[in-house]
Structure formats: structure tokens, C-alpha cells
Chains A and B, each alone.
Chain A
Amino acid sequence: MDKVIEMKDAMKLIHDGDTVMISGFGNIGAPCNLIMAMSETELRDIDLICDNLGETVRGFDQCAERLLQQKGMIKKATCDFIGPNPRAGRRIVDGELAVTFVPFGTLAERIRCGAYGIGGFYTKTGVGTLVEEGKETKVINGEKYILELPLRADVSLVKAWKADRMGNALFKYTGENMNTIMAAAGDIAILEAEEIVEVGEIDPGDVRLPGPFIDHIVHCPREVL
């Protein structure tokens, strides 16, 4: 089994109107090469789910920002943070981009639910705030909780440090962030890997992202900015 494909073939798997999850916390653990390739396509009306919508840190554009620069590509976004990104801000103010803000922990848990067949969860996060509006609530052990529903995607774009050709993957430090849950929450999961090794070279006990969640792998030894 060999899941490694070319970048151009990976891009053919995304279609207009798809819901696309993109992992990463800033550029850490983000599939920068997949994002850059996607930004060069003609895709339209994508519903994007990610942590951070293109914050600019110390003058460096975060990868997701590249998608926002393509007019008409991103129609809706679900994320927890924009940061001081003037372009994303202007798109929102101009009504070109509909953004739903979700608390980071709730976002991760909604994706985890979508990934693992859970119909939702009750959380105290957001009780008494704008986040609670319009949602079902329940008192559990005397405390109020909000029902949050699962998130899934047509395509997930994720990133690992090292992967074997079956998709079993490893991360360094904070590089894992939402990669494993997003891979599992996508109908199609495309993994960008810095290093690709032969099957058998990764000890099964060390695997962080199980290969069965991954459909395709693109080998990208270096980040692009």
C-alpha cells in the first residue's frame, strides 16, 4: 500500500462548495504546502474550518491568510481567532466572508466528536455569553451546560513531521495540535509530510496519527511562506 500522491492530484480531490478543515496553530503543524497549492486553484465557495484565520505574526503571514486573498474562494469560516488581520477583518465588514467564532476548546471537541462518531457534548464553555445563544442547555449536577454539535469535513488537510507510506505519522512537540482529530473528521484526509519512510520503519507503538485515518500523502520536505 502506498498513499503518496502528487500535489496536483491532491488538489483535484477538493471541489467547489466543499467543507475543508485545515489544521495548524499559526503555522505550527499547518500543511503550508497544501494551503499554498489550494490558494493557486480556482476553487470557490469553500466552507473553511480552522483554528486561526490568518493572523499575521511579526510580519509573517500565517498560511490560511493565503486562501483569504483569493476572492470568492472562502465563503464561510468557522474558527476561534482572527487576530489583527486587516484583510480578513475587511472581508468580514464588507460581508464577503461569514465567520462563526467558536471557543478553541469547543472547536477541537466538536471536531473530535465528528471524528469519532459522537453526536455532540455538553460543555460549560460559553455559558452566559453570546456563545450560548440559540443552543440547547441542560443542568447537570446543578451546573448549566451547553450542547455543542459535531463538525465534519469533505476534505481535511493535515500535516505531520514523519509518515510512512500507509499514513502512520509522528509529530514534533506542539506540531500535533488538531492534526489527528481533523484527519479523522474528514471524508478524505490528505496528509502533508516532511519526511516519508518505508512501511515498517515507524514502530507501531510510537504512532500518533493512525494510518487508517489518512487517504493520501503529499511529500513536502520544506515549508513555503
Chain B
Amino acid sequence: MDWRNIIAKNIALMLKDGDFVNLGVGVPMLVGNYIPDDITVILEGENGSAGLGRQLPFEGIYDDAETFERWENEHRGDQGDYRTGHKDMANAGSNVSTLIEGACTFDVPTSFGILRGGHLDMTVLGALQVDEYANLANWVIPGRRVNGMGGSMDILAGTKNVTIAMQHEAKDGSAKILRECTLPLTAVHCVTRVVTEKCIMEFIEGGEAAAHDRNGTKRGHYRVTAMYPGVSEEEVQSACEAELEFVSRSEMKSMAE
């Protein structure tokens, strides 16, 4: 498996039956592919749904304008439904999607009432940087064009369990797990855990050296609780600027392959 799928699978294995979860675009979205069949997880779509289908059985309909138009005309109004697909039923990536039985749809203010209001059990998002204050940066790189933050800031402001799905180090080899983020933040003090292709880290609040950052949030640290088979502690630590804590060899879990 590539790094994306390793991360997605390991996050999916943390989910419990009945969990209400939001998956960000990109790697987080892949988590849906690995949810065990014997549990039901309700996936939230920020544009107004709870109970998104796990897959998009619609590959091909976007191939050309004629195909899409034909599909759209056969799945509009009272034709087509949440099982077969409908032109007005889309996920947060604006792609048409099915819903599971028992799903519901609503407007955007209600959707963000769910997200901001703390009604989710977990949210999974990608990150450019995280730091020892549990801060997260993922929406803008100075000097590059801004795409906009979408709904990420609202989701982070309200969800208690924020699981970050990201590659262990940046493509240019620079660290992503820092003492303090250098990029503009998406949200402060929000990260619960980080899952990379090398390890799973839990954010531990406070500690003896309780320094504060400019927002007054307390410094903490990341505790590595699981590692991918064959990966060493040195490999995990050397790619991070933040000082990590490793649980003892006997407590250290092995990530799913």
C-alpha cells in the first residue's frame, strides 16, 4: 500500500459503530474505503448530508459533457434517488454521491451547526504543519495563491476529536511536526492525534514546561503509540522538529499494514 492508503486504513480502524464523522478532501476521504463492514459510520458532508455513501459509483459520468447531461436528465426531480444517484445529491467535493439508508439531508446553516456545535465524534483532515500547541496549518502558503479555507476552520473550532492524516515529512524533506507552526494557522489548539505512514501520535496537553504561545495556548507534546512495521524510533523522530515521546517497547502498537 502507498502512504495514503496506510494512513486511511489505520484511521478507519479507530472508528466505532455509530460514529458520526467528517472526512476532509484528499487522503481523509480514503478513510471511507476502509471502514469495517460490520460497523455503520455516519459520514457528514458539509454541504448538507449525514450518511454519505462510502463510494462514488459514478466514475465515467463526468467523462464528457454529453454523458453528464444524459445522466443528469435521467436523475433529476422525481427521477433517481439517494440510492441510484441524483443530480442534486453531492458530497463535499461537489461530486454526485449516494446516501446510505437512514441518512438525512439539510441546509448549510444546519450542517455547520453540526460541525461547529460539537456534534461529530471525529473529523479527519490533512495538514501542512502541526505543532506542540496542537495548532494546525493547512490552508495557505504565503506567496502562493490562496484557495480559501472552505469549511475547515468551522469544523476544527467545534470538533473534539481532530485526527490529522498527513505524510510524515513534506515532499521537500522539511519537517511538518514542529515546535511552532510557521505557516498561517487554520485553528489553534485543536489537534487530538496525528496519523502518518510511519506512526500514530497522540497530543498530550500541558506537561512540566508549560510554555504558552502567542494565543495563550499551552504547550504539550506528541506521544507515539504505534509505529508502522519496520520503522524505527530514529526514523520517526528525525523527520520531526518537535521532540516526541515514545511509549515503551512493550506498549508500542504496530500499525496495520
Query: Measuring CB to CB, which residues of chain A are less than 8 angstroms from any residue of chain B?
Result: 25-29, 51-53, 55, 57-60, 62, 79-84, 89, 92-93, 101, 103-106, 108-109, 112, 123-131, 161-162, 171-181, 194-195, 208, 222-223, 225
Contact = CB atoms under 8 A, between A and B. Distances in A.
Given A29-B88, A178-B109, 17 more contacts: A58-B62, A59-B62, A60-B62, A80-B151, A89-B145, A105-B151, A105-B153, A129-B153, A129-B186, A130-B184, A161-B88, A172-B89, A174-B45, A176-B107, A178-B107, A179-B107, A225-B65
Given A27-B94, A128-B187, A174-B47, A180 B77 contact: no
Nearest to A103: B153
Nearest to A223: B72
Contacts of B48: 25, 173-174, 176-177
Given A128-B135, A172-B89, A173-B105, A105 B115 contact: yes
A221 B237 CA distance: 59
A82 B150 CA distance: 9
Chain A CB within 10 Å, residue with most, of B95, B152, B157: B157
A108 B109 contact: yes
A128 B188 contact: yes
Most buried by B among A108, A174, A175: A174
Contacts of B217: 128
Nearest to B95: A57
19 contacts: A27-B94, A28-B47, A57-B93, A57-B95, A59-B62, A101-B146, A103-B151, A105-B112, A105-B153, A123-B154, A128-B189, A129-B186, A129-B187, A129-B188, A172-B86, A172-B89, A173-B90, A177-B48, A181-B109
Interface in B73-108: 73, 76-77, 82, 86-90, 93-95, 99, 105-108
Contacts of A58: 62, 95
A157 B108 CA distance: 16
B19 to A, nearest CB: 21
Contacts of B105: 173-174, 176
A185 to B, nearest CB: 11
A105 B187 CA distance: 14
Which 6 pairs show the lowest CB-CB distances between chains A and B?
A: A105-B154, A105-B112, A26-B94, A128-B188, A175-B88, A81-B148
A104 B189 CA distance: 20
B146 A125 contact: no
A93 B145 contact: yes
A173 B86 contact: yes
Contacts of B111: 105
Q: Which of B89, B108, B140, B154 has the largest count of A CB atoms less than 10 A from its CB?
A: B108
A158 B135 CA distance: 37
A83 to B, nearest CB: 6
A93 to B, nearest CB: 7
A104 B151 contact: yes
Nearest to B49: A174
